[in-house]
Amino acid sequence: MTILGVGVLKGLGVTLKTFLETYPWGRVLLRAVGIPSANGLVTIQYPDERQQHSERFRYFPFLVYDKTPDDLRCVSCKICEQECPPACIHIVGPAKDEQGRPLKAHGRTYPVKFDIDMAICMSCRICVDVCPFDAIEMDNQYEFASPDRFGRLVFDKQQLLKSAEYFKQIKPSEAAEVDARLAAKQAKTAPPAKPAVPPNPSSA
């Protein structure tokens, strides 16, 4: 037989236990009545102390480059710009020559301008999920507070660029998955190896 309200009481019990665990006297009280209690302190002495975030913690996006900053993976396809729910990505590009042909760097077209308005970004990660080139990833930096809303919180391409090495450091598992995906893609598009030329018997 189901007793109505048991779930609510259990929930209130968990809330009360968590509340008591937050205080030293509360933990003493819990132990005194035989309830095991963890250190429930959830605040730290920020900014002297920093919280260790899990690898999956995400804040704002950044643009990934491979070896040098002009070797960015972004090809300016603008898919992320179209899919960003609050429309906080603004891209101009790709860069073109005098004849209107797209310029390339490291074999790829690239954006002339790539801005993200961090004051509007809601860290949803949709830009990362829709990017076909693994060119944009989520950062774990969150200390952006500034009184200068437009001067400091609209990040341009230079501010957004971070190396693939940095991505590996902050999110090793995710970076390994991305590397494997890119390597598989590269293997598919690589030209087939030329057959070995048989030795010329006349030259022997």
23 contacts: CB under 8 Å, gap ≥ 6 = 40
Lookup result for tokens 């090809």: 75
- Options 15, 123, 141, 146; binder of ligand SF4; rule CB under 6 A: 123
**8 A C-beta contact, residue 110 and residue 74:** yes
Q: Which is nearer to ligand SF4, 44 or 112 (CB)?
A: 112
Strand pairing category for 113-117 and 89-92: antiparallel
Distance CA 110, CA 133 (A): 12
User: 56: which DSSP letter?
Assistant: T
Within positions 64 to 83, which residues make up the interface with ligand SF4, using CB under 6 A? 74-80
If one asks whether residue 164 binds ligand SF4 (CB under 6 A), the answer comes out as no
Q: Which stretch binds ligand SF4 (CB under 6 A): 6-14, 33-41, 129-137, 180-188?
A: 129-137
Q: Minimum distance from CB of 134 to ligand SF4 (Å)?
A: 8
Q: Which is nearer to ligand SF4, 76 or 161 (CB)?
A: 76
146 contacts: CB under 8 Å, gap ≥ 6 = 152, 153
Q: Which is nearer to ligand SF4, 30 or 167 (CB)?
A: 167
If one asks whether residue 175 binds ligand SF4 (CB under 6 A), the answer comes out as no
Q: Minimum distance from CB of 83 to ligand SF4 (Å)?
A: 6
Cβ burial, residue 134 (10 Å; 0-12/13-18/19+)? buried
Q: Which is nearer to ligand SF4, 54 or 200 (CB)?
A: 54
Considering only CA atoms, which of 180, 189, 179 is closest in space to residue 64? 179
- Options 11, 13, 86, 172; binder of ligand SF4; rule CB under 6 A: 86
Give residues in contact with ligand SF4 (CB under 6 A): 61, 74-80, 84-86, 88-89, 91, 116, 121-127, 131, 133, 135-136
